[in-house]
Chains A and B, each alone.
Chain A
Amino acid sequence: KAGVTQTPRYLIKTRGQQVTLSCSPISGHRSVSWYQQTPGQGLQFLFEYFSETQRNKGNFPGRFSGRQFSNSRSEMNVSTLELGDSALYLCASSSLTSGLTKFFGPGTRLTVL
């Protein structure tokens, strides 16, 4: 089975712009979670989608949003980018059969200038 894929792998934006990141989960996985990883804060939970519905949301401002499509692919959007949004954005997929096991993608490295 192919692993979790994330596109693009690297992105450079300027303050005030918006960005959309994409995540394709492992085939058959219906749960997709997003995490932000920074040197100062570590890995922080953004949100989780299951069957196109947001099930859980972390403590991030409304500029961070996401969605999931019927094929389980997910996108996250960050509007009005700030310097502090520079981070590695990780997506993880899981399924009922994988139980507690989450499979992470390689991440999208976002740099905001």
Chain B
Amino acid sequence: TQLLEQSPQFLSIQEGENLTVYCNSSSVFSSLQWYRQEPGEGPVLLVTVVTGGEVKKLKRLTFQFGDARKDSSLHITAAQPGDTGLYLCAGEGYNAGNMLTFGGGTRLMVKP
């Protein structure tokens, strides 16, 4: 069974601060995805990383896939209240078909 450990579970910060969310596993994944979910809605894909060591930037968000393809991080620079939400990492294992294994999520609150 593949597991993804996400940390921290909760994060409450002030507007303008930086933060990093971590996603770790003992298993190797063919790809890793990050989603953001708001109350009453389904998760929305932010990014997919597929190459070990890959770094992707999406405005103030920076995503990294570990060299060994077992871990990933999401860094937000100068957080805004609009960044508030549940951040989920999800891995697609080799031979897992179309199945995603999700981390437990990080609930982020950015206070103005």
Contacts and interface: CB of A to CB of B under 8 A. Distances in A.
A75 interface: no
Interface string B43-66: 111001010000000000000000
Interface in A62-109: 90, 92, 94, 100-107
Nearest to A44: B102
A104 B104 contact: no
Nearest to A94: B98
A42 B41 contact: no
A100 B33 contact: yes
A45 B42 contact: no
B100 interface: yes
A55 B1 CA distance: 18
Main secondary structure of the interface of A (DSSP, over half): strand
B92 interface: yes
Contacts, number: 59
Nearest to A49: B98
A16 interface: no
| Size bin of chain A's contact surface | 20 to 34
B36 to A, nearest CB: 11
Contact of B99 (A48, A105, A106): A48
Given A48-B97, A55-B97, A106-B40, A101 B45 contact: yes
A45 B92 CA distance: 12
Given A43-B102, A58-B99, A4 B33 contact: no
A50 B101 CA distance: 19
B42 A106 contact: yes
A104 B42 contact: yes
Given A42-B102, A42-B104, A101-B45, 9 more contacts: A33-B99, A33-B100, A94-B98, A100-B48, A100-B50, A103-B45, A104-B43, A104-B44, A106-B41
